[in-house]
Structure 1
Amino acid sequence: MRVSLFVVVESIGTMLLSFAPTVQCHGYLSFPAAVYRDPYTATSFVTTISENIDLCTFGGKKWNDTPALNAAMFASSFRNSSYSSLREMIDPVVPGCGSTRLDVAPVNVTGASEARWQNDEEHRGFVDSHHGPCEIWVDEHRALHNDDCRAAFTSYPAHLPLDYDALCGGECRLTFYWLALHEAAWQVYKVCAPIVNTNNAKLA
């Protein structure tokens, strides 16, 4: 049987594509814009954790419910945990800034009143299925916490209110934390961006 060159080339191309890595389009910090070490994986989570991170707090509970109910279960459990913040739980698991860089020019946030998170592929802020808590810190000040950021911030992009003037004067670091709880393996996101605010009302 004679096989055309076109069929052979097409088959090889299909095989190669099947082995190509895929971008996991979950979302990224668009303002202040984070700079990622590898733009191809910029929207991916950094790692996963599970109830095993603290079995006294999270063990023995149902984590295979709907994403919204998983988020509610996490919020209820977290309030009774020893953690004072999402940052306290995530930092030992993801030290530093995950896949983002700090050795870049700071983003000017003077006059701004929000951070923005978005997924351009699905035209969402937070992906529909990815319910869970998020937190923003500016240096050592917690600027925002919500138990279910997908439910609370539904626009595209997601507009996360921040009072930069109360939190940052001069150069600071903004760090965004997020847990997506749609599966028993919780997806961990940690993103940093250097920022600068020329106002001088930094919280003492």
Structure 2
Amino acid sequence: MLSAAALSSAIAILAFASQVNAHGTLKAPEPTFEEGASTVNWVTEVNNYWDIGSGGDQVGKFKTMAAEKGMSVKDVVLDMVKDKKCGFTRADADPQPVPSGGKLVWQGIGNNGFGHVGPCEAYIDDKMVLHGDDCEAEFPGGPADSGELSEMTIDYSSCNGDCMLAFYWLGFQNERWQTYINCVPLTGTGKPTGTQSSGNQTRTEAPSSDMKKTEAPSSENEERTSVGVSFKDVSLTGSAATVRGVADTPVFDD
């Protein structure tokens, strides 16, 4: 029979393993990271963003609030990360070839897929090419160490020469929201795929119909990198959120 101390230790180990497996990065196309940076860690963690509170359906709460405020996943992530517009990835890295077949693959640190509920979006330059309300459910991977990654299909046809792929994911740990950003410079010409993936269905339009906007007018965009990707600064006021910054980020924090 396990002692109370042994049982507590076992529970802690299982919890840690679950938290570690939540981290991840794009596998295809593969980003280049800053020297010495974690390739799998979140960029920032914000507690109680929008004063949403703990418990309940965080995915549903986000979807409702984002629609009311007219904000996309990208808008929210960029507001949370402030000046880390590409996270720990390099927007000035050597371009990767445009993937064939519209491939976009996320790999969790457990050699599987997404490890938390939460929405994600992908952009080619300023064009949204993928949106998921809960990417863990819509693009599932397998169990830990299965090698079954989260596979998505996007339309790379808007990339004609040089372009920037930017992928944004919000991983929800109850009221603690964690941001992930991967930027990948691409070169080549993408071919139309006709459809793009969204869970078990395909659709030609990425955002949900109740989103009021997905991108700000071009006059509000500010060029942030030397390779042509545009990022919009978003400022929110009145939030009681607390932020854990990049400098405070351990490699395997939950």
Q: TM-score, normalised by structure 1?
A: 0.72
Aligned equivalents of 2:135, 2:190: Cα separation in 1: 29
Computed over aligned residues only, the root mean square deviation of the Cα atoms, in angstroms, reads 2.4
Q: Please state if 1:101 is matched with 2:122.
A: no
Aligned equivalents of 1:160, 1:39: Cα separation in 2: 29
1:144-186 per-residue CA deviation (whole Å, 9 max, x = no partner) reads 1111000100132111211101x21111001110111123221
Aligned equivalents of 1:73, 1:100: Cα separation in 2: 29
State which of 152, 157, 174 in structure 1 corresponds to 2:149.
Answer: 157
Partner of 2:101: helix, strand, or coil?
coil
Contact conserved, 2:130 with 2:154, CA < 8 A, in 1? yes
Contact conserved, 1:164 with 1:197, CA < 8 A, in 2? no
Distance 1:192 1:35, change over 3 A: same
Aligned equivalents of 2:187, 2:44: Cα separation in 1: 29
User: Which structure 1 segments of 5+ residues have no match?
Assistant: 1-22, 53-57
One-letter amino acid matched to 1:160 = M
User: Which structure 2 segments of 5+ residues have no match?
Assistant: 1-18, 142-147, 193-254
1:78-121 per-residue CA deviation (whole Å, 9 max, x = no partner) reads 222231x11122223323311001222111115331211012x4
Distance 1:78 1:195, change over 3 A: same
Q: TM-score, normalised by structure 2?
A: 0.59
Distance 1:118 1:200, change over 3 A: closer
Q: What's the counterpart of residue 91 of structure 1?
A: 78
Shift of 1:200: 8.2
One-letter amino acid matched to 1:159 = E
Q: Please state if 1:125 is matched with 2:122.
A: no
Bigger mean CA offset, 168-177 vs 30-39: 30-39
* % same residue: 30
Contact conserved, 2:37 with 2:88, CA < 8 A, in 1? no
User: Any residues of structure 2 matched to 1:48-197 within 5 Å, and which?
Assistant: 48-52=45-49, 58-59=50-51, 61-65=52-56, 69-83=57-71, 85-94=72-81, 95=83, 96-109=85-98, 111-119=100-108, 121-127=109-115, 130-155=116-141, 156-165=148-157, 167-197=158-188
Count of matched residue pairs: 166
Aligned equivalents of 1:24, 1:36: Cα separation in 2: 19
Distance 1:115 1:199, change over 3 A: closer
Contact conserved, 1:110 with 1:196, CA < 8 A, in 2? no
Distance 1:150 1:38, change over 3 A: farther
Shift of 1:123: 2.9
Larger helix proportion, structure 1 or 2?
1
Whose Rg is larger?
1
Q: What's the counterpart of residue 17 of structure 1?
A: none
Partner of 2:41: helix, strand, or coil?
coil
Shift of 1:141: 0.3
Contact conserved, 1:116 with 1:160, CA < 8 A, in 2? yes
Distance 1:109 1:46, change over 3 A: same
One-letter amino acid matched to 2:38 = T
State which of 4, 15, 31 in structure 1 corresponds to 2:28.
Answer: 31
